[in-house]
Amino acid sequence: MNNMVCDNRPPPSSSPLTVNDPSAAPELASFPSPFPLAHGRLRALEPADTPVAELHARLLDGSYDKPFIIEDDEHGFLHFGMAFIQSAMRLAAPDVLDLRYTQKMMGFLLFKRNPGRIALLGLGGGSLAKFCYRALPAATIAAVEIDPNVIALRRYFAIPDDDERFCVIRDDATDYLARADASFDVLLADAFDADGLARTLASREFFQRTHAALSESGILVMNLAGEKSRYLDLVDEAREIYDHQTLLVPVRDDGNHILFAFKQRLFEPDWKQLRQRAKELKARHGLDFPAFVQKMEESARGRAGLNRVIDQWARTRRRAEERGRKDGRRGR
C-alpha cells in the first residue's frame, strides 16, 4: 500500500529517535508514587538505580521535565504534571477508548464513515491511534509527535509498530502539515504539554495549515481542555478560517470541548440520516454515537448563541488591542 501520510517525514538529522527500535528507547523503571492522591506505581524514563528521593522531589516541585506514568491495578495514566491526565489506558484492554473526550472525537465517523488518510497531531498514550488502527483497516494513519520521550513510551501503551499503513513521526505538527503533499480526510488534534494546549496548535497559522492540508470534504477535530473562556480566541480563528462551518461540542464532567471544523462549504448535516447512521456505528464500534450526534445537533441548533458569545469576545479583544496600540503611540 502506498502510504503518502508516512512519506512526509522530516530530514533524518532532525529525528534522532528510531521509534521502531525498542533498543533505542530509554529505560522505563518502576518506583513508588510520591503523590498522595495518586496511589500506585510510578513508571518513569529513568534508570532503575535512580535515587528515589531525588526523583520524588523533582516530581513534587514540578521541575521534572519528562512524561511519566501513574499505574494502578487497572489503568496506566500518562502525565506531564499532575494538573492534567494526558491519556488513560486500561491495562487489560489497551485499545479501548477510556476517556470520554477521545470517544467523542471519533464522532467524525458520522460524517466520514470510510476515511482514507488520517493524521493525528499529538500522540500521547496513543488512544486514538490504536483505536483508528484497529477500527479503520482501510485507513492510512500518521501520528505526529514532537517529544521523543512521549514516543519512547509507545511500547508501554501498546501502540502498533510502523507498517504499510501506520507510522509515528517525530515532528512539529505545523511543520508536518506545511510539508504535506497528502490530502487528509481527517485531522485529529490532541497535543498538550504540562501547561495546557501545545503552543504550536494555539495559533491562526495552525488552522490555516490544517485547512490547506484537508481534502475538499475533510474534517478537523480538535480537543480543547479547560474553560471555554481560555480558548474562545482559538475558536474564533477556526470559525473564520473554516467559514463558520464549525461545531463546538462539550464533553460532560471533564470540562473539555471538541471542535469539529468542516472544510466543505455550506455544510448542512442531515440530522435524521445521522441519527440512523449513529445506531449503525454504535453496533460496529461500541461507542455511544447516538449520544454524540445528539450533542452535535444541540451544538448546531445553539450555534447562533455561541456565535454571539464568540463575536462579543472577539470585539472585546480587538478593542483591547486597539487601546494598547494607541497607548503605545502616546508613549513614544
Q: Which three cell numbers stand for residue 179?
A: 510539508
**Nearest alpha carbon to residue 261 among 287, 279, 243, 286:** 243
| Strand residues in 243-296 grouped as ranges (E) | 246-250, 257-262
State the DSSP H helix or E strand holding residue 189, giving kind and residue range, or none if neither. Answer: strand 184-189
CA atoms of 1 and 118, how far apart (whole Å): 15
Q: What is the DSSP letter of 230?
A: G
Q: Which of these is catalytic: 98, 172, 185, 190? A: 190
CA–CA separation, 157 and 262 (whole Å) = 31
Please say if 311 is a catalytic residue: no
Q: What proportions of the chain, in percent to the nearest 5, are helix, strand and coil?
A: 40, 20, 40
- For 70, residues 6+ apart whose C-beta sits below 8 A from its C-beta are 33, 35, 38, 40, 41, 42, 43, 76, 77, 79
Whether residue 88 contacts residue 96, with contact meaning beta carbons closer than 8 Å, is answered with no
Q: Say how far apart CA 222 and CA 62 lie, in whole Å.
A: 27
DSSP string, 88-137: EEETTBTTS--SHHHHHHGGGGGT-SS-SEEEEE--TT-HHHHHHHHH-T
How many Å is the maximal CA-CA distance in the chain? Answer: 66
CA–CA dist 219, 31 (Å, integer): 42
- Catalytic residue annotation: 190
